[in-house]
Amino acid sequence: MKGERDWGREAADRLARLSKISAPGPGVTRLPFTPRHRAALDVLSDWMREAGLDVHLDAAGTLVGRLPGPPGSRTLLIGSHQDSVREGGAFDGIMGVVLPILAIERLRADGETPPFTVEILAFADEEGVRFPTALMGPRALAGTFDPAVLDMTGDTGESLRKAMCDFGLDPDAVAALQRDPGSIIGYLETHIEQGPVLEAEGEAVGVVTAICGIERHQVTFSGETGHAGTLPMDMRRDALVAAAALISEVDHRARAEPGLLGTVGTLSIAPGAVNAVPREARLTVELRAPEDAVREQAGAVLSDFARAIADERGLGLEMTRSYQQPAAPCDAALTETLAQAVRAVGGRGLALPSGATHDASAMADLCPIAMLFVRCEAGVSHRPEEHATAADMGVAIEAICAFLRAL
């Protein structure tokens, strides 16, 4: 009966058990199509069956727990990923599989069953650590899977195709997993925030408005080196000075534009001597925003700025956009239903964007998406210290239950 079980504490205990299914070393290292992946699937399968779900593993390595609804009913998909980064935390991804299993169990314990089909999904590979590709499971469902990635190789030289075959899967059957959008209600993903906003606001959970779009630029300023003690300042063609100006402008523009995030994550100079004027400066500029127009405008403005500073200082400039991923807005109706569910369990329904990419970004090509964020201590993620409290996870489970009741 209701109240007899501490669902948040049970979530914490289950995640602690799963955290031990890891390669040796600090934190959690659980890569796809490995013995640790298999062991995690075995545990998750048992919990899915205990919750009354029918369980199978699809050709992409996604574990599917299905609770059938009335004949002809559409399906709500709920899930996240089982894999981790190397030496990561115990909550990223996998929490979004454990909590909905407990939510279904919580509903059924009270004699409730959703009037539609529910499938809980544990995707194999979201992080893209073992192979230079990711999101195969959701892309297969959405019909955006590219079979060419099967021939990509990881650090050991093994192909993704071989790893999947060794895991007992049929890679050639992945494309056939594509779902009919008309049969799907939507997709809900629960994830730790990986940021500090919920903690700062004193909220256990929040509602995601959009998954930010991303673009990355490779930038090279080319000037001329010379002796730091003999080359006059007004005759210098210092590539690093131009790079510093661009770095400052990235920060300035991102702070001035609501929702825009700007980062210069790498910087290298040549010749790199303490007494030599830098001849070359290479850097990366990454921009993220929940609205593509904001991000794209910032990219164009920064490109113009880089060109102007290069011309002013007599420098060469190469600036190319090396990567682009569009934003994935969350569905307005599902998001409002989720916000109401959060308010029903005592939260404010705080809305915030996700700066990180999730399985939901690929699922958006199939169906409407919604995301529930759970507070994490100090915003820490992808590190062994990653942590969400049992109490906060208990609130998330109740919010998922309220969401299922309201659909």
DSSP for 313-380 reads TT-EEEEEEEEEE--EEPPHHHHHHHHHHHHHTT----EEEE-S--HHHHHTTTS-EEEEEE--GGG-
Residue 245, token pair as written in the block: 């100006």
Which residues touch 59 (CB under 8 Å, ≥6 apart)? 140, 169, 170, 171, 173, 174, 176, 177
Same domain, 311 and 192: no
Same domain, yes or no: 191 and 272: no
Indicate whether 175 belongs to any domain.
yes
Name the domain boundary from 325, 344, 363: 325
Q: Are 79 and 194 members of one domain? A: yes
pLDDT tens across 205-242, in order?
999 999 999 999 999 999 999 999 999 999 999 999 99
| Model confidence at 148: pLDDT above 70 | yes
User: Residue 2 above 60 pLDDT?
Assistant: no
Whether 285 and 216 have beta carbons less than 8 Å apart is answered as yes
> Is residue 230 domain-shared with residue 297, that is, in the same domain?
yes
293 pLDDT more than 90? yes
Instruction: Clarify whether residues 55 and 150 are in a common domain.
Output: yes
> Is 312 within a domain?
yes
Mean pLDDT, residues 68-72 taken together: 95
Q: Determine the Cα–Cα distance for residues 22 and 25; give it in Å rounded to an integer.
A: 8
pLDDT at 1: 40
The tally of domains found in the chain comes to 2
Same domain for 333 and 318: no
Residue 2 lies in a domain: no
Please report whether residue 60 resides in a domain: yes
The CA distance from 97 to 78, in Å, is 8
270 lies in some domain: yes
Residue 99 has pLDDT above 80, yes or no: yes
Phi, psi of 364 (to 5 degrees): -60, -20
**Within-domain flag for 248:** yes
Final residue belonging to a domain, choices 309, 325, 341: 325
pLDDT of res. 194: 96
Decide: residue 320, CB within 10 A, 0-12 exposed, 13-18 middle, 19+ buried: exposed
22-65 per-position pLDDT tens digit: 999 999 999 999 999 999 999 999 999 999 999 999 999 999 99
Which residue segment(s) compose the domain that 161 sits in? 7-211+329-406
Judge if 218 and 200 occupy the same domain: no
Percent of the chain whose predicted confidence (pLDDT) is above 90: 97
Claim to verify: residue 36 and residue 179 sit in the same structural domain:
yes
The pLDDT of residue 384: 97
Regarding whether 156 and 43 lie in a shared domain, the answer is yes
Mark which of 295, 325, 355 sits at the end of a domain.
325
Predicted confidence at residue 4, as pLDDT, reads: 79
Integer Cα distance of 134 and 359 in angstroms = 9
Q: What are phi and psi of 121, to 5 degrees?
A: -115, 130
- On whether both 167 and 297 belong to a single domain, the answer is no
Q: In this predicted structure, which of 124-133, 181-190, 244-253 has the lowest mean pLDDT?
A: 124-133
Distance between alpha carbon 253 and the CA centroid of its chain, in Å? Answer: 25
383 found inside a domain: yes
Say yes or no: 98 and 34 in one domain.
yes
Q: In the numeric block, which tokens belong to residue 269? A: 């100079």
Give the CATH number, domain containing residue 219: 3.30.70.360
Q: Which CATH number goes with the domain that contains 383? A: 3.40.630.10
* Average predicted confidence (pLDDT) for the chain: 96
Reading the block at residue 137, the tokens are: 């499971």
Q: Is 89 a residue whose pLDDT tops 70?
A: yes
338 plus 263 within the same structural domain: no
pLDDT band at 14 (very low <50, low <70, confident <90, very high): very high
pLDDT digits (tens, 9 = 90+) for 326-382: 999 999 999 999 999 999 999 999 999 999 999 999 999 999 999 999 999 999 999
With respect to residue 143, please indicate whether it lies within any of the assigned structural domains: yes
